[in-house]
Amino acid sequence: GAVVSQHPSRVICKSGTSVKIECRSLDFQATTMFWYRQFPKKSLMLMATSNEGSKATYEQGVEKDKFLINHASLTLSTLTVTSAHPEDSSFYICSATKSGTSGDLRYFGPGTRLTVT
Amino acid sequence: GENVEQHPSTLSVQEGDSAVIKCTYSDSASNYFPWYKQELGKRPQLIIDIRSNVGEKKDQRIAVTLNKTAKHFSLHITETQPEDSAVYFCAAHATGFQKLVFGTGTRLLVSP
Segment B13-36 mean pLDDT:
96
Using pLDDT thresholds of 50, 70 and 90, give the confidence band for residue B53.
Answer: confident
pLDDT at A23: 97
pLDDT at A80: 97
Contact A43 B99 (CB under 8 A): no
Least reliable range by pLDDT among A13-17, A87-91, B92-96: B92-96
Using pLDDT thresholds of 50, 70 and 90, give the confidence band for residue A53.
Answer: confident
- Label each residue of chain A as H, E or C: CCCEEEECCEEEECCCCCEEEEEEECCCCEEEEEEEEECCCCCEEEEEEEECCCCCEECCCCCCCCEEEEEEECCEEEEEECCCCHHHCEEEEEEEEECCCCCCCCEECCCEEEEEC
Q: Is B39 helix (H, G, I), strand (E, B) or coil?
A: coil
pLDDT at B98: 76
Contact A32 B98 (CB under 8 A): yes
CB nearest B102 (choices: A44, A103, A105): A44
Could you tell me how far CA B108 lies from the centroid of its own chain?
12
pLDDT at B50: 94
pLDDT at B54: 86
Is A102 near chain B, with CB under 8 Å?
yes
Q: Is the pLDDT of residue B111 over 80?
A: yes
CB nearest A111 (choices: B43, B45, B101): B43
pLDDT at A72: 82
Chain B environment of A57 (Cβ under 8 Å): 98
Q: How far apart, in Å, are the Cα atoms of B112 and each of A8, A9, B11, B39, B104? A: 36, 32, 14, 18, 26
Termini Cα distance of chain B: 41
Determine which of B100, B104, B108 to mutate to test the interface with A (most A C-beta atoms within 10 Å): B100
Q: Is the pLDDT of residue A83 over 90?
A: yes
Distance between CA atoms of residues B25 and B60, nearest Å: 26
CB nearest A108 (choices: B43, B101, B104): B43
**Cβ count near B103 (within 10 Å):** 25
How high is the mean pLDDT of chain A? 93
Least reliable range by pLDDT among A24-33, A78-87, A97-106, B38-47: A97-106
Is A8 near chain B, with CB under 8 Å?
no
Q: Residue B92: enclosing H or E segment and its boundaries?
A: strand B86-93
Segment B71-82 mean pLDDT:
97
Contact B42 A111 (CB under 8 A): yes
Between these two residues, B21 and B53, which has the higher pLDDT value?
A: B21
The distance of A23 to chain B (nearest Cα, Å) reads: 13
